[in-house]
Chain A
Amino acid sequence: MHVFSFDNTFEGLLTLVFESYRLKITPDEIVGPTGSQPFLFASTTTITTDDAKAERVWKGIVAHSSEENAHRAYRVFLSELPGVPLLLYRFIRVIIDSPTNQETNFAEPSVLEVHKIHQKVCREAQRTAMFVRFQKTAEGNYYASFAPQYNVLPLCIPHFRDRFADQQWIIYDLKRNFGFYYDLKEVTRVVFDDLKVNPQNGQLHSSIQSADEKLFQQLWKQYFKSIAIRERKNDKVHRQFLPRRFWKYLPEKT
């Protein structure tokens, strides 16, 4: 039994695919860098991420399928779901080993599985665009707390940059403890150690909130309440479309 370990980055995974071709070894299991996995009788190959090798595999995917398909693999990687590295390994092998484009061969299990997870990740990214809520800071910037199920914030940045081009903003992933900051020119990745945010509801500490922030939240709450038609009340659907895990950071649901 062969176990490969890598550094949990996408480039690392692509390097792993490269090495597996070079060493002519097919991994039975792929693990993260901790090395504590209980594979007593397995030989573990440790992969060192190499951007050049990763790049060649990326190009291989593009050449054997499409640019979109390579991005699809990346988005599926962001799901962080257990088993995904091995799934992607198999998927990439199927793509590269076939002389014809296999990206739509849904009768092949790894292709179908990748397609399904891809849909879930895209859905979560959509929901990020839907449910992120900014608060105005005392300085007139905009801040949002979020905690997506998958690591989709990077996928949503172009959308936010385009839409909120004339306001400075930060969107922060409280679950993964990093965020993005837009300063009217470019977006940079940021990590804060001393964020003045209430982890229960993502609200900024009132000392750094703008004076009218609470009023606008109240107006939004009132709007939310008034717009529902009582005669059509439907809790089940409400919760289906607005799953409970998002409520925490939504002013209208707190």
Chain B
Amino acid sequence: MVSENTLEKLKVLANAAKYDVSCASSGTKRSNVSGGIGNAAAWGICHSFAEDGRCISLLKIMLTNYCIYDCAYCINRKSNDVPRASFSPEEIVELTIEFYRRNYIEGLFLSSGVLKNPDFTMERLVAVAKKLRTEHRYNGYIHLKTIPGASQALVHEAGLWADRLSVNIEIPTENNLKILAPEKDFKSVLEPMKTIASHILESKEERQKYRKAPLFSPAGQSTQLIIGATPDTDKTILKLASALYTRRDLKRVYYSGYIPVNSYDNRLPALSSPPLQREHRLYQADWLLRFYGFKTDEIVNDENPNLDLELDPKVMYALRNPWLFPIDVNKADPQMLLRIPGIGTRSVQLILLARKHTRLNASHLQKMGVVMKRARYFITCNELPMRGSVQDLKPEVVRQLLVEKQTLAPDGAVQLNLFQPTMPALR
């Protein structure tokens, strides 16, 4: 079935899918059942890295890039003259299985342009997932992107086969969404999210009663926001993200720096290059919200509605709140340790364990991966107050020192730690 012709289609449809940034395959642990193929490792394996440095974990592909809609930010919009192609569900299934058996991928991330109507399209997506699970006893990862406007019944069925569902919001405010994607509104994305969230919850409760109750999208749901296509501030974006995490119980919000694919459309800003640094800062802020116990308004607020591009949000928090520092590394509780610039989650773990044995000094900290050239302004250790804390020096001076250090030793990894299996550099 797969042939030379498949190669051409793959080219078109991978190309069409590449702007969706979510790459994670983590979040489920699906062990191999009944001698079938595959499992989903909880840590989410990257199998390669594309030339843009992003992790390749899934076969990220569109079923078709024909679309009846005309969203301004999308390369596949109806009015664009681009090469178009469609796969049959069988072709996608075969590609997935063959790639999986060769250890190229963790699984499939399938989306689609809208053919005829949302339900018609959604049915085909569901068919692929169902075939994989039933005909091929495939236990690898499946992420389906639900089509806005698809029926609740189809969304429900999708969740029975998939590990993760996503509904992309794309544009952070409803007004701007309506300007850029007239066929869409917030309801068409937030409603399915709500349906998915409640099914996930139900399934979890059911499974506490009966261990064999069906799973529903066990790796949760995610969404994507496009950054820089509209004038929305980081505050708006992070408030929305934080509401999605708490009220819709999302697993991940992805941020995608807008790439001017349709520069002719004057509803969109003219950008010379995608806002990658801003995107990076948003991921860092997101990380602070989810794993470091920060609240949104500690990171962005009315005085500072946008993230600083020069310094990361954790340093910025420390500089805005100098009275909290310096922090005694040998005494402070874990929450406070996590707020020290230059100390990441891993170092905090090491510090907590090691300080039970020994009183820690600067050289211990350095060996444990603390970035002393940042942390030094914010800590004391082993009773010796280090001279020159942020209190003595004043935040403006420390800011200057930190910015200069960065330019002296550019942190090459910056953009990118995001796509690492582990976590961004928030030290």
Contact = CB atoms under 8 A, between A and B. Distances in A.
Q: Do A and B come from one complex?
A: yes
B416 interface: yes
Nearest to B353: A104
B68 interface: no
Nearest to B139: A163
A175 B181 CA distance: 55
How many residues of A sit at the interface, in one of the four size bands? 35 or more
Contacts of B102: 133-136, 142, 216, 220
Given A105-B354, A215-B2, A222-B10, A159 B41 contact: yes
A142 B47 CA distance: 17
A233 interface: yes
B53 A232 contact: yes
B98 A216 contact: yes
Residue from the set B14, B37, B50 with the largest chain A CB neighbour count within 10 Å: B50
Given A165-B36, A228-B50, A107 B357 contact: yes
Interface stretch (B54-62, B215-223, B237-245): B54-62
A223 B92 CA distance: 13
A234 B53 contact: yes
B350 to A, nearest CB: 6
B354 to A, nearest CB: 4
A228 B421 CA distance: 18
A207 interface: no
B2 A234 contact: no
A150 B265 CA distance: 53
B53 A106 contact: no
A224 B32 contact: no
A251 to B, nearest CB: 8
Interface stretch (A40-48, A60-68, A197-205, A237-245): A237-245
Contact of A106 (B55, B353, B413): B353
Contact of A224 (B37, B46, B50, B367): B50
Contacts of A108: 357
B18 A167 contact: no
Given A219-B95, A227-B56, A164 B37 contact: yes
B357 A223 contact: no
Contacts, number: 168
B325 interface: no
Contacts of B356: 104
Interface in A29-86: none
Contacts of A144: 103
B10 A226 contact: yes
A105 B358 contact: yes
Interface string A205-222: 000000010011011101
Contacts of A219: 2, 6-7, 10, 95, 99
Contacts of A229: 18-19, 50, 52, 54, 259
Contacts of A164: 37-38, 101, 103
A232 B52 contact: yes
Given A227-B56, A231-B273, A130 B51 contact: no
B41 A238 contact: no
Contacts of B360: 107
Given A163-B38, A166-B37, A216-B99, A233 B52 contact: yes
A201 B53 CA distance: 23
A224 B48 contact: yes
Contacts of A20: none
A178 interface: no
Contacts of A252: 48
A23 B31 CA distance: 49
Residue from the set A159, A163, A224 with the largest chain B CB neighbour count within 10 Å: A163
Given A105-B354, A232-B52, A240-B413, A131 B47 contact: yes
A237 B37 contact: no
B52 A238 contact: yes
Interface string A156-172: 00010011111100000
A4 B414 CA distance: 46
Contacts of A227: 14-15, 17-18, 50, 56, 60
Interface of A: 102, 104-108, 112, 126, 129-136, 142, 144, 159, 162-167, 212, 215-216, 218-220, 222-224, 226-238, 240-242, 250, 252
28 contacts: A105-B354, A105-B358, A107-B354, A107-B360, A112-B368, A129-B45, A130-B47, A132-B103, A162-B39, A163-B39, A164-B101, A166-B137, A216-B102, A222-B10, A222-B14, A223-B14, A223-B61, A226-B15, A229-B50, A229-B52, A231-B259, A232-B52, A234-B415, A236-B53, A238-B49, A238-B52, A242-B48, A250-B48
9 nearest CB pairs, A to B? A237-B53, A104-B353, A226-B14, A232-B52, A228-B50, A107-B358, A234-B53, A105-B357, A237-B416
